[in-house]
Structure 1
Amino acid sequence: MYDQHLPRNEANHAPLSPLAFIERTAEVYPDRLAIVHGELRQTWGETYKRCRQLASSLRRAGIGKNDTVAVMLPNTPPMVEAHFGVPMAGAVLNTLNTRLDPETIAFMLDHGEAKALIVDPEFSAVVAKALPLRKNPAPLALIEVEDALYGAPAQSLGGTRYEDFVAAGDPAFAWELPGDEWDAIALNYTSGTTGNPKGVVYHHRGAAINAISNVLEWDMPKHAVYLWTLPMFHCNGWCFPWTVAARAGVNVCLRRVDAQAIFDAIRNHGVTHYCGAPIVQGLLVNAPAAMKEGVPAGVKAMVAGAAPPASMIEGMEQMGFDLTHVYGLTEVYGPATVCAKHDAWNSLDIGERARLNARQGVRYHLQRAAMVCDPETMQPVPHDGETMGEIMFRGNIAMKGYLKNPQATEEAFRGGWFHSGDLAVQYPDGYIKIKDRSKDIIISGGENISSIEVEDVLYRHPDVLAVAVVAKPDPKWGETPCAFVELKAGALTTVDDIVQHCKKHLAGFKVPRAVVFGELPKTSTGKIQKFELRRKAGSATAINV
């Protein structure tokens, strides 16, 4: 009887979309600060108006539903505005990684069939090289941002000035929610370390739900002040542009990640929250003490990309920062699990707290499920902290699929779950801990070695700043661990010191047979590029252990 004469209609059902967040915030808090960038102070009322103007101008340029608008922007006001103005036009936002080479940019513009490209002056030169490499003959509207904080002359691409483009739009543009919350809102490309990048498509529902999950996981208060250390091009900044709008918070923009700039922003603007890869957190922990003076306690930080070692947790605590460990992938909108902390952990020693906080944790509030399964049988592994399986997700925080790649989409969702490719165990309390990427397991003499386990041990060495362990070909064992180690400034640690440290904590066959010192190659989000290190591992010098 509950299905009879009770129809869904416009009065009792509306599609979920993060666009509703900025609409409400602009109505309720029009005079609250929304964006800080250099001398710029922009309210939510002003920001909403500009987003509507951007949407209006895009429509007038012939861009509408399911058209792609690419942006090559740092963490600046136009990037915040694009997260609302582009989907208000019905279009799909494609945030390009600003560290990419011209060939990859050209591929993405073609594959995503971009109709417009918004460019910051810092990236004009690389875009100028990418444009002639495009194979798609369709015209591409170029919109060029000007930013005094860039502080260098920019190469003109002959496009329209961003401010002129926005000003020409209607501030009362009557945008609409998507007809279906399943409609695409964003396109994000994976790193493409083995062939061309895959285009991950997000829907309005997932964007809204993950944005709200961010609020819930952090107990994020109204009018929080969020510092943009995490690139907004990365998983749409883990959906935080939409999260900040939902909380009528403040976007403190930051063109470049720099320890001094971060501490200054925290002091000057009362920053309460920020996100970043371990390399960003390490940058702050290892900064000179004088740089940290006057930084208030209580700042909340999120870290993802690798488990935070004990030294990082201890260093953050000494600064008075509260660190939350999350885990996810591009395909699940950024973070989709969280290592939810318990009060009882506070009384434990730093080593045990680090062990517990290093786990990837439990599903986000509004994710339906996250579990570790045998990828062949699709059955959950025992919750014993030892049996390894693959992390899988199901629910509201999962991509639509890969653009123009039905085979990859079908494989990713095989068995009704999203397959992450990350190998992990699950503990009796349900918390998940990654052991490795499936491709990063080192098989030495028939024994499986977790590169993450070896890395965890290396991070305990007081002189180690960053580390990555990969497989090195070996004529006797097939593969052996090769450790690439980046030392802290001034450290005099030797290869033998590293080996002896590992021998204290690892079985002999897990100890690296090669150790290479030097700066590690990293992505723009701070992730170590293991694929580059695998190329080097074949020529790494072996040592006797």
Structure 2
Amino acid sequence: MYTIASYFMAHAEARPAAAFLCIPPDPGRDYCPDGAEHSYGETGRAVEEIARAYRAAGFGHGHRVAALLENRPEFFRHWFALNALGASIVPINPDFRAGELAYLLENAEPALVLTLPAWRDRLLGMLAQAGRGDVALATTEEVGAGRLAPPPTPPLPGLPGATTEAAILYTSGTTGRPKGCSLSNRYFLSTGIWYSGYGGRQRFAFGQERLYSTVPMYHMAGLALTTMGIMTAGGCLIQPERFRPGRLWRDAVATRATVLHYLGVVLATLLKQDPAPEEREHAIRLGLGGGGGDPALRRAFEARFGITLSEGWGMTETGRCIFNAHEPYHPDLYSFGRAVGGIEAAILDEDSVPLAAGQPGELGVRFRGDDPRFGFFTEYLNDPEATAAAWRGGWFHTGDVAVMLEDGSLCFVDRKKNIVRRSGENIAAAEVEAVLDRHPSVERAGVVAFPDPVREEEVLAFVQLKPGHAPGPDLAAALVAWCLERLAYYKAPGWIRFVEEQPMTGSNKIAKGVLSERARTLGPEQLVDTRGLKQRVARP
């Protein structure tokens, strides 16, 4: 079997005492307050025990389990156990609201919703609110105790392998609802080997690296890059509950981290922290991530913290990323390196024809060889038309505008897609617009990105009201509250601009290009600031 679980168990058998997972200490946390470290062998034994429980209940090849397990050790154990049986995991973002959860369940059709005991009551309430009380729910404790109802269908025949689905991750599309990316065992393992074997200044020493991850497990960077990358390198994953800038350097020293994985907001946020002794006492030599492309920001970070950064580009659909790890680095440009190894990149025109160096166009990527989709996502779940459109012309169309230099280096220019990139999260403008448009006071809303010095971008909503409704801070707050009931907190507008009418195209759609141009000319004093209203719901 060519699976994530078989690869992991080979490590567990060959190097049982080696550290696999480290939880940094945190006295305020309700699990592992003193921190913990779990070896490959210990984790492997737990995986085998959990797999037996699922198998006894009838779970196996072809089943899906939607899981809300946060970044805890239970996530890794249950994922690997299910993978060993040929079952797929569908991670749930803890910030989801009932409507978002309902869509995931409808689209992915999992046989079970799995969660931690502390989340049980809240998830049951969300399922009831979403009208999905028919979906079975179990906690990790119930699985361990053998109190697990059988799935509604039997497993598929045969053993799982390279092309078997290992997970579904949802990525924001441009037309509203997120798309479910079906990801195979091959996708995950090729991504991990690619990440840890990229070479250049991104060189990993087998069995010696300890990678501190700032990303969640419902994100491709956590599920595929950091977990698979450190596993294939035989190293240790350091997984905090979430990114906390005030704790990161203390964590890094306490856990002996050697590599940091970041998203753009991490660099900017850490630079804003007051100096601390630990920021120069750590052993981190290398930072890997994306979204920190501002050359001045990268230089400031490297100088202050003594860490070499390898800026990358990637998507859930691609798995394997392009990193700026090989010379020439072009440190003064928004460069994310060159396509190396088996990945091929081109700058495409509107007909999917590669452009000459120096000309901006859409970044296209593919695998070099007979199968351009090898190692990429398998498909958009239940959406063959979108899958075919993404692969038109033999290239995967990324929706990002870039330029290729004469030496093959790639430089980011802009996003072609109607996406807001906030703190590493891709937010589909159409999804936010659809929620705002349902508010009784809104005639139509248009959402675009607004620059943010820390989060890269924030959600800006241009709102045209129905007659009889007066604009102002109170109504803006009401609109945000409306969104927070229906969307994860980060998707709600952080800025609102009330307008008398929207610019429209000839096909009677909001002219988003015009709104984006207007956003570039607006100052904060011309907008209603609602960023302070965007608060996470407290964890149970």
Q: Normalising to structure 2: TM-score of the pair?
A: 0.70
Q: Percent identity?
A: 20
Partner of 2:336 in structure 1? 360
Of 192, 206, 213, which residue of structure 2 is paired with 1:222? 206
Which position in structure 2 is the counterpart of 1:140?
A: 136
Q: What's the CA shift for 1:519?
A: 7.8
1:261-285 Cα shifts (integer Å, max 9, x gaps): 2212210111112212111122222
Partner of 1:106: 102
SS at match of 1:382: coil
Task: Kindly report which structure 2 residues correspond to 1:253-402, keeping only aligned pairs within 5 A, or say none.
Answer: 253-290=239-276, 292-305=278-291, 307-333=293-319, 335-342=320-327, 353-355=331-333, 358-363=334-339, 365-367=341-343, 369-376=344-351, 378-384=352-358, 386-393=359-366, 394-402=372-380
Name the residue aligned to 2:446: none
Q: Residues of 2 paired with 1:16 and 1:524: CA distance?
A: 42
Distance 1:214 1:514, change over 3 A: same
Residues in 2 aligned to 1:43 and 1:472: alpha-carbon distance in whole angstroms: 48
Q: How does 1:154-233 map to 2 (within 5 A)?
A: 160=142, 163-164=144-145, 178-191=159-172, 194-217=175-198, 218-223=202-207, 224-233=209-218
Question: SS of the counterpart of 2:398?
Answer: strand
Report if the CA contact (8 A) 1:54-1:165 is conserved: no
Quote the offset at 1:67 in angstroms.
Answer: 0.7
Write the distance in 2 (CA, Å) between the matches of 1:400 and 1:341.
29
Deviation at 1:315, TM superposition (A): 2.0
Determine the C-alpha separation between the residues in 2 that align with 1:511 and 1:138: 45
Cα offset for 1:326?
0.9
Residue type matched to 1:72 in 2? L
Distance 1:281 1:187 in 2: 29
Structure 1, unaligned runs of 5 or more: 1-14, 146-159, 168-175, 346-351, 442-457, 474-508, 526-545
Distance 1:317 1:55, change over 3 A: farther
Q: Is the 8 A contact 1:422 1:437 kept in 2?
A: yes
* Other-structure match for 1:252: 238
In the alignment, the residues of structure 1 paired with residue 324 and residue 518 of structure 2 have an alpha-carbon distance, to the nearest angstrom, of: 27
One-letter amino acid of the counterpart of residue 337, structure 2: G
Q: Secondary structure at the match of 1:132?
A: helix
Distance 1:103 1:510, change over 3 A: closer
Indicate if the aligned counterparts of 1:297 and 1:320 stay in contact, CA closer than 8 A.
no
Q: Does the aligned pair in 2 maintain the 1:360–1:431 contact within 8 Å? A: yes
Give the Å deviation of 1:135.
Answer: 5.4
* CA-atom RMSD in angstroms: 3.6
Alignment of 1:454-469 (within 5 A): 464-468=453-457
Instruction: Give the paired residue count.
Output: 425
Tell me, which stretches of 5 or more residues in structure 2 are unaligned?
24-31, 149-156, 367-371, 420-450, 463-516
SS of the equivalent of 1:430 reads coil
SS of the aligned residue for 1:64 comes to: coil
- The answer to whether the aligner puts 1:63 opposite 2:44 as a matched pair is no
**Quick check: 2:257–2:284 contact (8 Å CA) kept in 1?**
no
Matched, 1:433 2:408: no
Give the TM-score normalised by structure 1. 0.70
